[in-house]
Structure 1
């Protein structure tokens, strides 16, 4: 395994500069880099040579279940969605040659915008802005789900048939492979999810990680989404899985909070989760009677993702701050998922 960089300056900037100078039409050098994300998903770096700015994404260092961090799939879906109603960054380079930085990677221009990560960020918005942002989150997700995968070259991007069964089996396998002594027994939840699994009827392009802090909003108008980010889990499947994932992070005033967001949307102006689901259903002209199963599954999926990161952190394979806070969030997510399934019964 290659050494894990302490900072972005440990990237092989000389070889990266040589590569980018051959690829990019405007590149003055020398290259500088800042680590923006230490590996909670795919490590992300800001690059500049003083004039232009780019973002580089690569797989995590020491990643477990590397299939969940396929940079090639992420680059492909971004390229496919360019020019559609879904705002995505352009891919200016997708490098499969691991000799350049030690892993495959892709580069995109840096887009001006804001990421709203927690309650501190959303408290700065007005109630009217919060409602407008919620509407944009729904309409952008509808735009994605209304795209015909064949028309954008993604007809072979996944297998919609049996998507939920495969997803549950995959996350079960990952949970089993990552168990640590401090984890609760998730067997009851897993049995309940398998027994209550709905039949998929609405298939399309699934983002897989669609939530408030994975979109970039305009610095001038926080109700306008300028880019949807973090497509590493995108595939073809049941589009309601994206709705459930978004709502699993949708905290409400007086209700239980997702431990990761801790009340980010539990503020005046943000509509309740059931209204978000209604907006989505009306825009797609579909019936959505009960999303509790999808929300519960999303809580479980998030628990497994956090466990992946927790295990990497225990192994010393992460860099950055805040990783020690993720482990204590996992057991409450399992319990929250069981509570959600009670609503489904």
Structure 2
């Protein structure tokens, strides 16, 4: 058993017990991803296999690590076409764990994070995996959120405008320098918010490494994970973000050569057109959505460096340098909306 200050066996056993789950034998806990986001742990006893997640240890920014949000949306999607891990236990207030924490069933299957993970896949499998991810996004946006109990999950009206304000505020929290181009992008986006937009459950962070692929079939999705930024909102924001994640500079944010930036995957434009075919939706003012996605990623990159400076454990190698990508994302955003 590998103890971690963010999740001890004693506290986790208590949480599972409070959710009417009996631990069989000893708990084994292993940190499998500090990543750039929530801490993720592989948890086993003598009979069960789970995954636990909690926020980073320090340097938090508001709304960025919402465990209650993850729990609500994955519980609601359990019986839909969207593949998710089964929910097991939650510590909403952090009373037991010391921070909000969720436990879900372990889902077997590969996760493609780095370009090295792509080496064992054929070009056909790589392309099929991307297409499956886009189809999963279309399936998510097709879910009747009222019917699955998420009618109070958020306010889809005005979502894009609130996103512009949100990421502008987040920049005020995490910035380490003045960046006039970011303020300029915020101003342009604020004036260009689409007057009408669709309403759907949005994931807010979907790319290939936030999915578990099916064992033996890497062209299919076994489960979508990392729902902490999910909401009710404009579905086009999801596919725009997925497309912008394809930019090579995103590898600098993660601190390694990310699989999703590989030129073996379809381009961002190809993914967007695939989404149009799968969902039947129109992309609307696509340039606005690309600008917003770049703003979001630029601020997220700065936030990673901010947490590293504050001693947060979601950083890891090179986290202090992630913010260097911010200016590139903002420049791309301005190019999109100009």
Check if 1:189 corresponds to 2:185. yes
Please state whether the residue corresponding to 1:304 is helix, strand or coil: helix
Gaps of 5+ in 2: none
Please state whether the residue corresponding to 2:85 is helix, strand or coil: coil
Contact conserved, 1:122 with 1:264, CA < 8 A, in 2? no
Tell me how far 1:51 sits from its aligned partner.
Answer: 3.3
For residues 294-323 of structure 1, the C-alpha deviation after alignment (integer angstroms, 9 at most, x for no partner) is: 122111101111222211111112256222
Tell me how far 1:12 sits from its aligned partner.
Answer: 2.9
The higher relative CO (CA closer than 8 Å, separation ≥ 6) is in: 2
Contact conserved, 1:123 with 1:267, CA < 8 A, in 2? no
Check if 1:110 corresponds to 2:106. yes
Check if 1:140 corresponds to 2:136. yes
Tell me how far 1:157 sits from its aligned partner.
Answer: 0.6
Q: Which residue is equivalent to 1:235?
A: 231
Tell me how far 1:95 sits from its aligned partner.
Answer: 2.0
Q: Which residue is equivalent to 2:45?
A: 49
Tell me how far 1:131 sits from its aligned partner.
Answer: 1.7
Gaps of 5+ in 1: 1-5
Which whole-Å CA distance do the structure 2 matches of 1:29 and 1:294 have between them? 50
Tell me how far 1:241 sits from its aligned partner.
Answer: 0.4
Give the total of aligned pairs: 332
Q: Which residue is equivalent to 1:210?
A: 206
Tell me how far 1:225 sits from its aligned partner.
Answer: 0.4
Q: Sort the Cα spacing of 1:327 and 1:196 in 2 relative to 1 into closer, same or farther, 3 A.
A: same
Which runs of structure 2 are paired with 1:1-345 in the superposition (5 Å)?
8=4, 11-23=7-19, 25=21, 27-38=23-34, 40-96=36-92, 98-181=94-177, 185-251=181-247, 257-259=249-251, 260=253, 264-268=260-264, 270-288=265-283, 290-318=285-313, 321-322=316-317, 323-342=319-338
Contact conserved, 2:185 with 2:334, CA < 8 A, in 1? yes
Q: Sort the Cα spacing of 1:92 and 1:10 in 2 relative to 1 into closer, same or farther, 3 A.
A: closer
Please state whether the residue corresponding to 1:151 is helix, strand or coil: coil
Please state whether the residue corresponding to 1:317 is helix, strand or coil: coil
RMSD between superposed Cα atoms in Å: 2.3
Which whole-Å CA distance do the structure 2 matches of 1:275 and 1:309 have between them? 29
Q: Sort the Cα spacing of 1:127 and 1:223 in 2 relative to 1 into closer, same or farther, 3 A.
A: same
Which whole-Å CA distance do the structure 2 matches of 1:316 and 1:15 have between them? 23
Q: Sort the Cα spacing of 1:201 and 1:264 in 2 relative to 1 into closer, same or farther, 3 A.
A: closer
- With 9-18 and 41-50 compared, the bigger mean Cα shift is at 9-18
Tell me how far 1:271 sits from its aligned partner.
Answer: 2.8
Contact conserved, 2:15 with 2:90, CA < 8 A, in 1? no
Q: Sort the Cα spacing of 1:263 and 1:116 in 2 relative to 1 into closer, same or farther, 3 A.
A: closer
Tell me how far 1:257 sits from its aligned partner.
Answer: 5.0
